[in-house]
Amino acid sequence: MQAMSLKVEDEILQDAEHFVKRRKISRNAYINEAIKAYNALERRRELREKLAFESKLVAADSLSILKELEQIGDGNLR
């Protein structure tokens, strides 16, 4: 585990201290949980962006394949 120093806005620190006391956990544990939660949120954002990008790459092919499958279902494949 690595130590770090950071500056926190007064209002944010006051909110954090409130929850630290209420949950009866250390400030360090609270900050670690907060960073872990934010990292998970960022991973989901990255995944959403990657999925949107890759969906655009295959959109035209997907529509073409869908049309072919519809023709197969209708018995009209040429």
- Going residue by residue through the chain (78 aa), what tens digit of pLDDT does each one get? 899 999 999 999 999 999 999 999 999 999 999 999 999 999 999 999 999 999 888 887 887 888 888 888 776 655
Answer whether 0.85 is exceeded by the pTM: no
Please state the length of the chain: 78
Q: Is residue 56 part of a domain?
A: yes
Handedness of CA 55, 58, 64, 68 (dihedral sign): negative
Q: What is the pLDDT of residue 69?
A: 85
For the chain, how many structural domains are there in total? 1
Q: Which domain holds residue 57?
A: 10-74
How far apart are the C-alpha atoms of 10 and 8, rounded to whole Å?
Answer: 6
Nearest 5°: the CA angle 60, 63, 67 is 140
> For residue 40, is it within any domain?
yes
Amino acid at 62: S
16-to-11, 24, 28, 51, 78 alpha-carbon distances in Å = 9, 12, 11, 34, 66
Tell me whether residue 2 is in a domain: no
